[in-house]
Amino acid sequence: MLVGFGRVRRALAGLLLERGARVAERYALDLRLRRVLTSRGVFDLPTGEDYYARLRALVEHGATFTPGAVGPVEAGGVLAGEVPVGQGTVEELLVGQVLVDATPTDLASGQPGLAYLRAALAAGMHGVALSKGPLVVGWEGLQELAARQGTRLMVSGATAAALPAGDTLVHSLAGAEVLSIEGVLNGTTNYILDRMGQGLPYGEALAEAQARGIAEPDPRLDVEGWDTAAKMVILANLAWAAPGRGTREGAVRAGAPSGRAATLGEARVAGITSLSPEQLAESRRRGRVVRLVGRALPPEGGRPPRIEVGPVELAEDHPLARLTGANKGVTFVTDLMGSVTVTGGESSPRAAAAAALKDIIHLYA
Amino acid sequence: MLVGFGRVRRALAGLLLERGARVAERYALDLRLRRVLTSRGVFDLPTGEDYYARLRALVEHGATFTPGAVGPVEAGGVLAGEVPVGQGTVEELLVGQVLVDATPTDLASGQPGLAYLRAALAAGMHGVALSKGPLVVGWEGLQELAARQGTRLMVSGATAAALPAGDTLVHSLAGAEVLSIEGVLNGTTNYILDRMGQGLPYGEALAEAQARGIAEPDPRLDVEGWDTAAKMVILANLAWAAPGRGTREGAVRAGAPSGRAATLGEARVAGITSLSPEQLAESRRRGRVVRLVGRALPPEGGRPPRIEVGPVELAEDHPLARLTGANKGVTFVTDLMGSVTVTGGESSPRAAAAAALKDIIHLYA
């Protein structure tokens, strides 16, 4: 089932329609969307022959949500793990084997996604997170629930849409120790820094980015570094506080959180709002490029991973220095495999949905 | 068990010694090396308490191979699927659940690794290939065997040591269609091209690379493009002729090879031997960088994937243009996730062994 309100939800329904047959053939996996849950209510899909017709109608015409027996579900109700009186609980809304959380990100509360993911994992469902909030706020509790239930929490769409940052870390570097993580993970700041390097003051560069739909109307999460910090918290926890990964000092057992998960509150975060075009031009003259960089180091001495976000001058041959526009990238330094960098990956609702589809495939195939 | 002759085999034994306990704790996986098979004979490890002591002796002092009941196994004997008279067959030498092939690469015959991988898969063991030869020569047959037996053939160490090219393609891009692959996958030619760009003639640059141990005494596989072509054949087959992946025109079912696997014979391959320092300097003046690039396009119209290798001028902002020295990289263009590039990954026997260790972990965890 799919919880969420926006474009990513529609894109994922579209992918399931368009790719369903191919996924079935290639991965021997018959994925069926059972239910879509939004603030407007509940939309159920049939399990029988008319499944694809109804899915097509949902994708092409949008849902006619049924505010009947269970809905509408208000965010306020979900926060407390409840829906309005007489409407049943979050638990009663769960169907299927996988819950995909595509709710808006709230880095302070993690809600409403956190309540849904908790309920789903507790009920023995797998969780696929597209929203950063629940992971940043509730990492250890969610991992503990998943381990206890023998289910999995997949997060590859929550760090940078289609950039396979989490997959590279967890899958491609399996068996090696991650010694540090460095990421350029925010397209909005890339754009603004590029324009400032061309002489535009911060305010004008931001206004231009907003006019082009690159920056949000409220750009604070991006330009003050919190979007990058949230992604780094998730990557740090995948590296050092997740089942199947460990720390320098010893392994973290599945289901036995270390108490050393990274949190946003302990990250040192600076944004790009106080930079001047002169500073950027000066860096350029010295053959260097300024990017908003997130860095993470492993937990040590009982402390959580160290996370720092801020503008950094990168040498021109640094593997992340070339990232412009929406392009993102992350470098993992390891003990056995050297340094591995992954860059690119489209940033769009469809690409984020593709990351969720991939996570669902990996749950089974 | 581990078949092979050289440094990678010793590095893998070393990793199993050094990381055994950590892998057991982190992945709940007790990996035990049962047998090492080389041209000199057979070395068996005990399954009981003295396993780690014997493994340590093997790593630190090398094996005292037992040319007794079964060995020595000559490559000539293995080629025919047999060992010398009175010594038993390849099949009789198999033990354990996984065969790791770390034999030298022979791109023409695929032997001796091909005989071992075939026998192991046919016997229901998993195969982990570190050598390109068996995959380039025998891809379809090996995949067919694995599918029939319900076992798996893992190849992440065969394309570029610790650069996770295959993992990115198969795992990180799961669910998306790969539209093209572009790789700079040969460190020797990177080095020679860099030096030629600084004015050295080809012959001198090659001699310098050989003196530094970067180029082989017989450099033809590298400088004539065949090493790159072999890696591209493997990546193309992972993308378009492997279980779990498909083609533009439809999925390839596990166990039903398409007859459209890429082969080295059909690749168009050019090397760097006829380039002049003047050409490279001229490219440089135009702000471009020459690299030995492999390109692969999907199968179309019943034909296998198209593979081309040759020197290519890359724009300076091309994600692969910055790769110098031993650094390798590969770009996958996909339909759902945009373009994803992975670069780096140490090139060393230890890094190749780490890729094999990762493959073994993924067989079980």
Whole-complex ipTM? 0.91
Comparing CA positions, the residue from B229, B227, B195, B231 lying closest to residue B210 is: B195
Q: How confident is the model at residue B2 (pLDDT cuts 50, 70, 90)?
A: confident
The pLDDT value given to residue B104:
87
Residues of chain B with Cβ-Cβ distance to A176 below 8 Å are 354, 358
Contact B357, B213 (CB under 8 A): no
Other C-beta atoms lying within 10 Å of the C-beta of residue A144: 17
The pLDDT value given to residue B76:
33
Do the strands A98-102 and B306-315 form a parallel or antiparallel pair, or are they unpaired? unpaired
Q: In what order do the strands lie in the sheet with B35-38?
A: B41-44, B35-38, B2-4, B98-102, B126-129, B153-154
Residues of chain A with Cβ-Cβ distance to B175 below 8 Å are 15, 19, 23, 354, 357-358, 361
> Which residues 1-30 of chain A have a CB within 8 Å of chain B?
15, 19, 22-23, 25-28
The answer to whether residue A8 scores a pLDDT higher than 90 is no
- The C-alpha atoms of residue B134 and residue B136 are separated, in whole angstroms, by 6
The pLDDT value given to residue A80:
29
pLDDT tens-digit profile of B189-220?
Answer: 999 999 999 999 999 999 999 999 889 889 99
pLDDT tens-digit profile of A73-115?
Answer: 433 333 323 333 335 577 878 889 999 999 888 999 998 899 9
Q: How large a percentage of chain B has pLDDT more than 70?
A: 88
Q: How confident is the model at residue B257 (pLDDT cuts 50, 70, 90)?
A: very low
Kind and range of the H or E run holding B303: none
Token code pair at residue A7: 């474009």
> When comparing pLDDT for B146 and B249, which is higher?
B146
Chain A CB within 8 Å of residue B344 CB: yes
* Contact yes or no for A340 and B171 at CB 8 A: no
Numbers of helices and strands, H then E, in chain A: 14, 14
* Contact yes or no for B343 and A341 at CB 8 A: yes
Least confident of A127-131, B43-47, B82-86, B88-92: B82-86
* Contact yes or no for B245 and A26 at CB 8 A: yes
Least confident of A51-65, A76-90, B264-278: A76-90
Q: List the alpha helices (DSSP H) in chain A.
A: 7-27, 51-61, 75-79, 90-93, 113-122, 132-149, 156-160, 165-167, 187-197, 202-211, 220-223, 226-240, 277-285, 349-364
> When comparing pLDDT for B203 and B74, which is higher?
B203
Residues of chain A with Cβ-Cβ distance to B244 below 8 Å are 26-27, 365
State the nearest Cα–Cα gap between B161 and chain A, in angstroms.
8
Mean pLDDT of chain B: 86
B274: left (phi over 0), alpha (psi -120 to 50) or beta: alpha
* Contact yes or no for B164 and A168 at CB 8 A: yes
- The C-alpha atoms of residue B355 and residue B231 are separated, in whole angstroms, by 15
pLDDT tens-digit profile of B162-178?
Answer: 999 999 999 999 999 99
The pLDDT value given to residue B77:
33
The pLDDT value given to residue A243:
65
Residues of chain A with Cβ-Cβ distance to B166 below 8 Å are none
pTM for the full model?
A: 0.92
The pLDDT value given to residue A194:
92
The CA–CA distances, whole Å, from A12 to A2, A119, B129, B305 equal 9, 22, 36, 30
The pLDDT value given to residue B153:
96
For A336, the closest of B254, B322, B354 (CB atoms) is B354
State the nearest Cα–Cα gap between B85 and chain A, in angstroms.
41
State the nearest Cα–Cα gap between B270 and chain A, in angstroms.
28
Mean pLDDT of all residues in A320-338: 92
The answer to whether residue B161 scores a pLDDT higher than 90 is no
Chain A CB within 8 Å of residue B196 CB: no
Chain B CB within 8 Å of residue A128 CB: no
> When comparing pLDDT for B103 and B355, which is higher?
B355
The answer to whether residue A120 scores a pLDDT higher than 50 is yes
The pLDDT value given to residue A42:
79
* Contact yes or no for B336 and A346 at CB 8 A: yes
Mean pLDDT of all residues in B96-121: 92
The answer to whether residue B87 scores a pLDDT higher than 60 is no
For B336, the closest of A28, A246, A350 (CB atoms) is A350
* Contact yes or no for B244 and A174 at CB 8 A: no
The pLDDT value given to residue A105:
87
Q: How confident is the model at residue B282 (pLDDT cuts 50, 70, 90)?
A: very high
The pLDDT value given to residue A2:
79
pLDDT tens-digit profile of B11-68?
Answer: 999 999 999 999 998 898 999 999 888 777 778 888 888 999 999 988 888 766 655 4
DSSP string, A335-350: SSS-EEEEEE---SHH
- The C-alpha atoms of residue A275 and residue A298 are separated, in whole angstroms, by 29
The pLDDT value given to residue A362:
95
Least confident of A58-72, A210-224, B10-24, B303-317: A58-72
State the nearest Cα–Cα gap between B49 and chain A, in angstroms.
23
Q: How confident is the model at residue B254 (pLDDT cuts 50, 70, 90)?
A: very low
Mean pLDDT of all residues in A301-305: 88
Which of A248, A340, A362, A364 to probe the B interface (max B CBs under 10 A)? Answer: A340
> Which residues 289-308 of chain B have a CB within 8 Å of chain A?
none
* Contact yes or no for A162 and B253 at CB 8 A: no
The answer to whether residue A310 scores a pLDDT higher than 90 is yes
Q: Which residues contact B69 (CB under 8 A, 6 or more apart)?
A: B88
Chain B CB within 8 Å of residue A349 CB: no
Other C-beta atoms lying within 10 Å of the C-beta of residue B51: 16
pLDDT tens-digit profile of A171-195?
Answer: 999 999 999 999 999 999 999 999 9
